[in-house]
Amino acid sequence: MSWSARLDRVEPFRVMSLLEVAQGREAAGHDVIHLEVGEPDFATPEAVVAAGQRALAAGQTRYTPAAGLPALREAIAGHYAERFGAEVDPARILVTPGASGALLLASQLLVQRGDRVLMADPTYPCNRHFMALAEAELDTVAVGPASGWQLDAELVARHWRDTTRLAMLATPSNPTGHMLDADQLAAVAAAVEARGGALLVDEIYQGLTYGVEPVSAAAAAPEAFVVNSFSKYFGMTGWRLGWLLAPEAAVEPLTRLAQNVFLAASTPAQHAALAAFTPTCLDELESRRRELERRRDALLAGLARLDLAPSLPPQGAFYVWLDISRYSRDSQAFCQQLLEEESVAITPGIDFAVRGGEHHVRIAFTTSVARLEEALSRLERFLGRL
């Protein structure tokens, strides 16, 4: 039996195979330091867990409307108003099974076979793959320090074609952790609008910023489609809950898609997420953000001692995108060898970059400072043998 040809355009997410190997080493008794997956060592906030338990005990397990609980959509809209000064109609918000559900809806709505999509290279691989599954053609634009590791307005203008229909941004980005500010977001939105296209913004790591205030396209580019998630800032990875903010005209077709693709997001998870916006929970989340900043600073200081620190430190998310070209041009082999010899798990850059991934790796500062310091010691020992 043959499979659909569209699967040929979807590459494996190599970090998951590396995670499996790392877990196997742990089971065999090795002390593995996990810096490979995008999941900090924080549990879901207790207020959120308790709200989910109350929902289950109260029998809140039936379907919600396809676009989500009205109360949760209102809470998300309130968050945009309070945090970003953006007045958002709750009717423009669709709650989805993870940010992946939002990306699926957006890709199916916005592009079709033959349409071209602009996005930065490197980027989160699923962003590419969702567009490929919609049979769009990708124009991945190489970015670097000169553009702040982002797809800016000048790059959009330079790479736009007659058949380009969509530009996609990620801010803060995975894997680089870099951001666009409000003026840059507005400039990209204006460049896209002038060419009759649509703008999709991945804000999954929004809120996790260091030394700069978080911004949202909801305020800077009001006509953009915005994807967000309860996984990263809110610490709800396994609850699989996200949302899509869309222009008013897109709500009906997106709701129609949601009704047919996944019916509705998890009901207990939606009730639990209501607690994420309470003052007590937000205080806890801010404390966690400050801890991540402390981890980032410790990792950057250690990398500087090894003369490996990036020229532009990450402004958000919880990753460092690291150039290892002086040691290797095979990031997959580099990561495998580091895991085998020193039990430190990091991610090969080929997962994220079409160009340059072979000499980059991603390090997630998702564990304690003490564990990061130990990982740096092991990395130094490993590099000394290369």
Residues 66-83: pLDDT tens digits?
999 999 999 999 999 999
Q: Is it true that 10-38+281-384 and 46-277 share their CATH fold?
A: no
| Pairing of the two strands 198-202 and 225-229 | parallel
Least confident stretch, 34-38, 44-48, 262-266, 273-277? 34-38
Model pLDDT, residue 10: 80
Each residue's pLDDT tens digit, 109-139: 999 999 999 999 999 999 999 999 999 999 9
Model pLDDT, residue 11: 81
For 152, what's the count of Cα atoms within 13 Å in the CB-facing half-sphere? 16
Model pLDDT, residue 13: 79
15 has a pLDDT exceeding 90: no
Model pLDDT, residue 211: 94
Look at residues 236, 310, 326, 276 and name the one whose alpha carbon lies nearest to residue 43.
236
Look at residues 310, 311, 298, 306 and name the one whose alpha carbon lies nearest to residue 365.
298
Confidence tier at 375 by pLDDT (50, 70, 90): very high
Each residue's pLDDT tens digit, 185-244: 999 999 999 999 999 999 999 999 999 999 999 999 999 999 999 999 999 999 999 999
Confidence tier at 17 by pLDDT (50, 70, 90): confident
Tell me, which fold does domain 46-277 have in CATH? Aspartate Aminotransferase; domain 2 (3.40.640)
Distance CA 219, CA 76 (A): 14
Task: Read off the pLDDT of each residue in 284-311 and give the average, rounded to a whole number.
Answer: 97
Each residue's pLDDT tens digit, 93-112: 999 999 999 999 999 999 99
Task: Read off the pLDDT of each residue in 358-378 and give the average, rounded to a whole number.
Answer: 97
Model pLDDT, residue 84: 94
Question: What ranges do the domains of the chain cover?
Answer: 10-38+281-384, 46-277
Each residue's pLDDT tens digit, 268-283: 999 999 999 999 999 9
Contact at 8 Å (CB) between 94 and 67?
A: yes
The distance between the two most distant Cα atoms of the chain, rounded to a whole number of Å, is 59
- Exposure of 20 by Cβ count < 10 A (0-12 exposed, 13-18 middle, 19+ buried)? exposed
Model pLDDT, residue 9: 83
Distance CA 372, CA 292 (A): 12
For domain 10-38+281-384, the CATH class is alpha beta
